[in-house]
């Protein structure tokens, strides 16, 4: 990363490097800067790029302008293939080395959150109610920085794919990309991804082999009874007591789940009984909860038990019921081989690695890439005083951009040269 580039007044700028090998247009305020050392090493103003993305956040599944921006930048870097529209607005760019070798995938996310950005910085969100408050603006900027490094020096062997994935926050994007027929051609041997982590020292690497982040799944139980006048509750079938019982059962679910092998949790997150109408005995109710587990096998047990609870409670109260499952994230399981490769590469670059002994409770849909081959997700500490992810004043620290690019490049060069 090189910073401090000049901003011109026109929307389109170009810079020619000393080796006269490239003319790269910048667009929408992104100035490209050339570092005139060795070969032709092209460096954009990545901080400026992040700020622009931060100002213009887009919600999960609607990352159209963000994807267009990333695509235009990648086109200037001349990948061997560039595929767009994957699983929605996903993009992959692939570069091949001269010799045969493994295929690595590096992934970043494109989406922002439906939360008002209350940051006071100049680059705060300009979109009401939408903010890059998980740092995906930083993650995608890191991947653009990696693309520059690859364009400047291709891998010697194998190939490398950079994936800009849509809709991570809803848990839909990774699965949609993998299921896209155009992705069938792109079968990586190993996938790497990072997530910035507030609460850890800036630039530290947080790593764990095996379960790294939890599987999670949202359950929505609809209970259907019969509405009547509030003066005649005996003529109604109200779900009120069933809801209370179900909320208790769901809360107690982990302790009643046979043979959990690791961490399990169930959290009731929402409930609604009828409407606010003092003349009515309600006939409809809904209870929602989020189930979490470190292992996918334990999630299967939680799902089966929660479904059984809903059926038993509904039946005992003479209610009909139906269940919806939403926001399904698999567990993120870090493969021992790729995790060892990553840690060796980062240690040799002088990174401090903090090894965890327990998985994180949150979920990341990058876990789906574990179906394709080896997977390692690691944390990049974004500062002990940094507001938590999704907090209204969260802002990805710019100093992490280069740390992230260097970390990804270290493992890339170790594996592919």
Chain residues in the site for Zn ion (CB under 5 A): 134
**For residues 406 and 400, is the Cβ–Cβ distance under 8 A?**
no
Distance CA 316, CA 318 (A): 6
**What are the tokens at 289?**
């909860």
Q: How far is the CB of 62 from Zn ion (least distance, A)?
A: 16
Q: How far is the CB of 327 from Zn ion (least distance, A)?
A: 12
Q: How far is the CB of 210 from Zn ion (least distance, A)?
A: 21
Name the DSSP letter for residue 385: T
**For residues 382 and 195, is the Cβ–Cβ distance under 8 A?**
no
Q: What is the DSSP string of 251-279?
A: HHHHHHSS---S-EEEEEEEEEES-S-TT
Q: Which CB atom, from 53 or from 134, has the smaller least distance to Zn ion?
A: 134
Q: Which CB atom, from 33 or from 139, has the smaller least distance to Zn ion?
A: 139
Q: How far is the CB of 371 from Zn ion (least distance, A)?
A: 20
Q: Which CB atom, from 24 or from 134, has the smaller least distance to Zn ion?
A: 134
Distance CA 243, CA 237 (A): 12
Name the DSSP letter for residue 371: G
Q: How far is the CB of 107 from Zn ion (least distance, A)?
A: 12
Beta bridge partners of 379: 195, 206
Q: Which CB atom, from 50 or from 305, has the smaller least distance to Zn ion?
A: 50
Q: How far is the CB of 166 from Zn ion (least distance, A)?
A: 13
Q: Which CB atom, from 139 or from 208, has the smaller least distance to Zn ion?
A: 139
Region for 171 from its dihedrals, namely left if φ exceeds 0, alpha if ψ lies in -120 to 50, beta otherwise:
left
Q: Which CB atom, from 134 or from 186, has the smaller least distance to Zn ion?
A: 134
**For residues 200 and 379, is the Cβ–Cβ distance under 8 A?**
yes
């Amino acid at each position: 990363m090189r910073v401090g580039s000049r901003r011109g007044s026109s929307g389109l700028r170009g810079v020619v490097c000393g080796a006269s090998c490239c003319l790269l247009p910048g667009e929408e305020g992104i100035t490209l800067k050339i570092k005139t050392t060795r070969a032709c090493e092209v460096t954009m103003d990545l901080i400026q790029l992040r700020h622009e993305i931060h100002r213009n956040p887009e919600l999960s599944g609607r990352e159209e302008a963000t994807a267009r921006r990333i695509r235009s930048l990648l086109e200037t870097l001349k990948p061997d293939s560039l595929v767009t529209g994957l699983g929605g607005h996903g993009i992959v760019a692939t570069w091949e080395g001269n010799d045969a070798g493994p295929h690595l995938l590096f992934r970043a996310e494109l989406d922002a959150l439906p939360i008002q950005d209350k940051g006071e910085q100049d680059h705060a969100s300009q979109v009401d109610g939408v903010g890059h408050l998980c740092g995906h603006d930083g993650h995608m900027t890191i991947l653009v920085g990696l693309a520059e490094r690859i364009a400047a020096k291709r891998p010697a062997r194998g190939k490398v794919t950079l994936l800009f994935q849509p809709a991570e926050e809803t848990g839909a994007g990774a699965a949609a990309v993998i299921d896209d027929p155009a992705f069938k051609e792109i079968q990586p041997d190993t996938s790497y991804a990072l997530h910035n982590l507030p609460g850890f020292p800036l630039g530290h690497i947080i790593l764990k082999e095996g379960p790294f982040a939890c599987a999670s799944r949202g359950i929505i139980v609809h209970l259907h009874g019969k509405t009547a006048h509030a003066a005649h509750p005996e003529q109604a079938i109200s779900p009120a007591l069933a809801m209370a019982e179900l909320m208790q059962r769901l809360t107690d679910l982990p302790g009643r789940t046979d043979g959990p092998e690791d961490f399990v949790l169930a959290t009731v997150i929402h409930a609604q009984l009828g409407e606010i109408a003092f003349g009515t005995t309600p006939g409809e109710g809904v209870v929602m909860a989020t189930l979490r587990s470190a292992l996918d096998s334990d999630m299967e047990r939680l799902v089966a038990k929660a479904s059984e609870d809903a059926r038993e409670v509904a039946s005992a109260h003479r209610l009909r019921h139906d269940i919806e499952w939403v926001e399904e994230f698999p567990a993120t399981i870090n493969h021992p081989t790729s995790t060892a490769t990553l840690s060796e590469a980062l240690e040799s670059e002088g990174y401090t690695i903090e090894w965890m002994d327990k998985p994180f409770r949150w979920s990341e849909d990058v876990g789906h890439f574990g179906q394709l081959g080896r997977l390692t997700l690691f944390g990049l500490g974004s500062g002990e005083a940094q507001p938590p992810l999704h907090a209204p004043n969260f802002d990805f620290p710019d100093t992490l951009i280069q740390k992230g690019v260097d970390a990804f490049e270290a493992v890339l060069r170790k594996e592919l040269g």
